[in-house]
Amino acid sequence: MKFVDEAVIKVQAGNGGPGCKHFHREKFVPLGGPDGGNGGNGGSIILLADRNKNTLLDFHFQPKFKAQNGKKGEPAGRDGKSGEDLIIRVPVGTQVFKEPADRPPSGTPLADLCRDGETCILAKGGRGGKGNAFFKSATNRTPEQHQPGEKGESGTFRLSLKLVADVGLIGLPNAGKSTLISRISAARPKIADYPFTTLSPNLGVAVAPGGRSFVVADIPGLIPGAHLGKGLGIRFLKHIERTKVLAHLIDPTQVDEKGKPLQVEQAFAQINEELKSFSSELLNRPQIVVLTKLDLIPKGESNEEVLRNFRRQGYTALAISSVTGQGLPELLNALAEAISRT
């Protein structure tokens, strides 16, 4: 299924039904009083966070939603039936923004559905009108007045999905993020040896050796200048904001654009600069430095000095090979420990 994390929808809640104007008519009851019932309320449009949904793709095919109108009131004091609420299921992590036609959405969401089962009334149904029976009083025994139903609320809204995960895998393209998530979970991302193989985030559930499970997200598209729109741009940077721990994957065999070896510290600094440019708060997230592709390191060479340098800076630092499985149990334990401390 294609991953879509932005969608614009138009909604129209149901209108309230009109009240009824009616006077009781029955043989031998010449002075029957008013008995017009009230109109039913219009249905509301409600968003519901559903953990079984993982994309906003459906809203690209169906961007308009309308709830049922309330029925009109009836004689004999019968109220009209209320319109049914329209429940729209969205992925957990969906934010809702008002979308005026003349300017971009506000920076503050109207709702942030972070938990499964959380709801938000997007548009409230109109109230049903009162029938003439409602207006009967000691001084007004034959009221003629009755109310039309109120119109339901409507609007245009932007839905923006931010993934909810415990661990975010970050790093330059081809750092080994997709291979790692495929080894530690049931996720099966596309894997190839060229940049931007991964065009959308992948979620998987990993289990540490002690039995502790957590959700891992592979965040694609980070390169120098990503916060300015380079590469895949800021499209996926937002998904890092909800993660508790960042696993910073670095390929020690990687080369730069000119084909020269890219220093591990340089790759680390490049990604952290992008995080800082997007949101300074991201630098405060716990980070675990992970050197990948141990299977490609020539015999006799070691990453121990590089790892020690990161540890002296206060980082947990490990080396792994997703191909052979070397270091994966230690990494899973380190991630589980870091999550438990947040």
CA distances to 116, 195, 197, 280, 309 from 274, in Å: 31, 17, 20, 10, 22
Residue for token pair 């530690």: 184
Per-residue pLDDT at 226:
47
What is the pLDDT at residue 111? 93
All structural domains of the chain: 1-162 (2.70.210.12), 167-341 (3.40.50.300)
- Please, are residues 22 and 80 in contact by the beta-carbon 8 Å criterion? no
Q: Identify the weakest region by mean pLDDT among 10-24, 52-66, 186-200, 298-312.
A: 186-200
Structure-token match 């119109």, residue found: 151
- Phi, psi (rounded to 5 degrees) for 233: 70, -155
- What mean pLDDT is predicted for residues 243-272? 83
Q: pTM value?
A: 0.75
How many other CB atoms sit within 10 Å of the CB of residue 110? 16
Which pLDDT score, from 0 to 100, does residue 187 have?
67
Positive/negative CA dihedral, 254, 270, 167, 210: positive
Please state the rounded mean pLDDT for residues 95-100. Answer: 88
**What pLDDT sits at residue 235?**
61
Flag whether pLDDT at 218 surpasses 90: no
Beta bridge partners of 167: 216, 245
Q: How are the residues of the chain apportioned to helix, strand and coil, as percentages rounded to the nearest 5?
A: 20, 25, 55
| pLDDT tens, residue by residue, 116-172 | 999 999 999 999 999 999 999 988 888 999 999 999 999 999 999 888 889 999 888
Burial letters 10-39, b for 16+ CB under 10 A, else e? ebbbbbbbbbbbbbeeeeeeeeeebbbbbb
**What percent of the chain is predicted at pLDDT more than 90?**
50
